[in-house]
Amino acid sequence: MFINADAIFLNANVITMNPAAPSATAIAIKDGRFLAVGADADVLAFRGSATEILDVAGKTVLPGFIDAHTHVMSSGVRHVAEEDCDLRSIGEIQEALKGRTIGAPAGDWLLGFKFDDTKTSEQRFLHRQDLDAVSLEHPIMVAHQAGHVYFFNSLGLRRAGFSDDTPDPHGGRLGHDPDGKLDGRVYGAAIYPVLRQVLPPHTDNDRRRGLALICRMFAKAGLTSVHDAMVSVDDLRVYQQARDGGDLPLRVYLLMYRDHFPALRDAGVRTGLGDDRLRIGGIKMVADGAIATRTAYLSQPYVGSCCDHGLAVMDAEETERRVLEAHRAGFQVCIHSNGDQAIDIVVTAYEKAQRAFPRKDPRHRIEHCSVVNPDLLRRIKALGCVVTPFCSYVYYHGEKMRFYGEERLKWMFAQRSFIDYGINSTGAADYPCSPLPPLMGIQSCVTREDYNGQVWGPEQRISVEEALILYTINGAYASFEENIKGSIEPGKLADLVILEEDPRIVDPRTIMDIAVERTIVGGETIHQRD
């Protein structure tokens, strides 16, 4: 006797991402999972009187996209509580921030995010005086789009406890004008105490609103699972409330910020606790600066500089100590490391931890893993690490690639090399550091062309099929969930995206223009195109 499906999708161009049966025209769903995948006639055998039948009209169906490194809760909260400074001139940014001063009591913080110097006509960082011109009565802090550099006005600096003679903290730096006065720029770990102790804490209501907003944005882009790359215990509480209340449309894998590690360990928690909607993932740490702010920690200096190698946030000793603790406690370790010098420190720490306490398949991760070389690739493969490179950066941040130079670009965002070395690499936007649509990431990895048509590191091009693997089954592998999602196979979670066109056959320069028709999680539609 056949089981009756809840829904059957017919007449579809199904790309299953299951190598044993790569294509199909129909899918049956029952209780949130795939019941059958195959030809229309075979799948229709599961039709019952209550089965919903959907004619997909030849459109393309893929497993729902997975972004393995993105900022979910914190971006949502920022969209709710901060000014979006992704604007084309410093004057426009000042006007936008001024708008926020209206009715804001003197002394209240004004916050902004997504400022990107190379996307402004002035082509420079904000200076303290730019923000003093907005307000002398409100402390102001604006984050760079890539994080890792923050910009303050004079009152903001004072409230943050920074004065002209504050020494640079470990792993961080305060910018100064030639006359020794603070220029308002705060780099790396210098921001941590400000974020923790000085800024007003977000409320759970901000978090709830932010989470709902950002989930709608992700669903619209075809994402069904996201790995939140920096989660606090306050975020965790609101995530759990959302899950319990049925208000978490996406599946979320949580990379817990390192400060929470001791409490999690002492409570007996380790990677994998949770369910297919919400799961505790790894412990997140940061080893160096960012690609987009030119603070990644590099073995060779930045182009045009004699000696600027970027910024190490943790040294080798601290990295090894923290890795060993989390490794021993049964956690996956996830360390932001962009530059080859930082990656070397992290890989060494993973090697030492694994030698001291061998674990079967810890799947430690190198977040971003932006600049590599053959030695690092070989060692990463030997460790079985997962890497989560920026997929959209060549396209979206093309104007910054000149700071790295053509030679280095041959080894940056090195998807071709990761595949050739047999390393599990994923799809990731690191929103808000680059726009969140996976289709932009896929296009960028395939073409290696920026938005002006300039090609960067064509050696690292991959095929559309390979890029789809990154955003589906490899994303599932990064959270130890390759057996329950990432491909369209009977028994797996019914997470789907329906695209207007097949990304394998359109002009690769137009992949990001393909419309997302529908996004489905566990058989439930969470986004439908208007």
Q: Which residues bind Zn ion (CB under 5 A)?
A: 229, 430
Q: How many other C-beta atoms can be found within 10 angstroms of the C-beta atom of residue 312?
A: 24
Nearer to Zn ion, 67 or 517 (CB): 67
Min. distance of Cβ 69 from Zn ion in angstroms?
A: 6
| Beta carbons within 8 Å of 273's beta carbon, 6+ residues apart | 279, 280
User: Which DSSP symbol is given to 54?
Assistant: E
* Residue placing its CB nearer to Zn ion in the complex, 156 or 437: 437
Quickly tell me which residue has 């412990």 as its tokens.
283
Q: Minimum distance between the CB of residue 229 and Zn ion, rounded to whole angstroms?
A: 4
Whichever of 16 and 75 has its CB closer to Zn ion, that residue is: 75
Distance between CA atoms of residues 86 and 71, nearest Å: 17
d(CA 475, CA 453): 28
Nearer to Zn ion, 61 or 433 (CB): 433
Q: Which two tokens stand for residue 329?
A: 């406690």
- Mark out the alpha helices in 153-277 (DSSP H runs): 154-159, 192-193, 204-220, 233-244, 261-266
CB of 235 to Zn ion, least distance (A): 14
Rounded CA gap, 86 and 98, in Å? 15
Nearer to Zn ion, 229 or 468 (CB): 229
Nearer Cβ to Zn ion (229/494): 229
Q: Which one, 148 or 408, has the nearer CB to Zn ion? A: 148
Q: What angle do CA 15, 18, 24 make, to 5 degrees?
A: 40
Distance separating alpha carbons of residues 413 and 370, to the nearest angstrom? 5
Nearest by Cα to 427 from 361, 479, 499: 479
CB of 367 to Zn ion, least distance (A): 6
380 contacts 364 by C-beta, under 8 angstroms: no
Q: How far is the CB of 285 from Zn ion (least distance, A)?
A: 12
User: In angstroms, rounded to a whole number, what is the distance separating the alpha carbons of residues 90 and 129?
Assistant: 12
User: Least separation, in Å, of the C-beta of 76 and Zn ion?
Assistant: 15
Q: Between 27 and 229, name the residue whose CB sits nearer to Zn ion.
A: 229
Q: 430 or 481, CB closer to Zn ion? A: 430
Residue 59, both tokens: 């459109």
Smallest gap from Cβ 71 to Zn ion, in A, equals 6
- Looking at the Cβ atoms of 82 and 430, the one nearer to Zn ion is 430
Minimum distance from residue 178 beta carbon to Zn ion (Å): 33
User: Nearest 5 degrees, angle CA 201-CA 202-CA 203?
Assistant: 115
Shortest Å distance, C-beta 234 to Zn ion: 18
Phi, psi of 345 (to 5 degrees): -60, -45
- As a three-state string, the secondary structure of 119-183 is HCCCCCCCCHHHHHCCCCCCCEEEEECCCCEEEECHHHHHHCCCCCCCCCCCCEEEEECCCCCEE
CB of 327: closest distance to Zn ion in angstroms? 21
Nearest-approach distance from CB 143 to Zn ion, in angstroms:
12
Tell me how far apart the terminal alpha carbons of the chain are, to the nearest angstrom: 39
What is the C-alpha separation between 217 and 1, in angstroms, rounded? 42
Q: Please, which residue, 185 or 368, has the CB nearer to Zn ion?
A: 368
Q: Determine the Cα–Cα distance for residues 15 and 469; give it in Å rounded to an integer.
A: 11
CB atoms within 10 A of CB 356: 11
Q: Considering the complex, what minimum distance in angstroms separates the CB of residue 430 from Zn ion?
A: 4
* Alpha-carbon distances, residue 4 vs 12, 37, 97, 488, 492 (angstroms): 20, 14, 57, 19, 17
Of 215 and 516, nearer to Zn ion (C-beta) is: 215
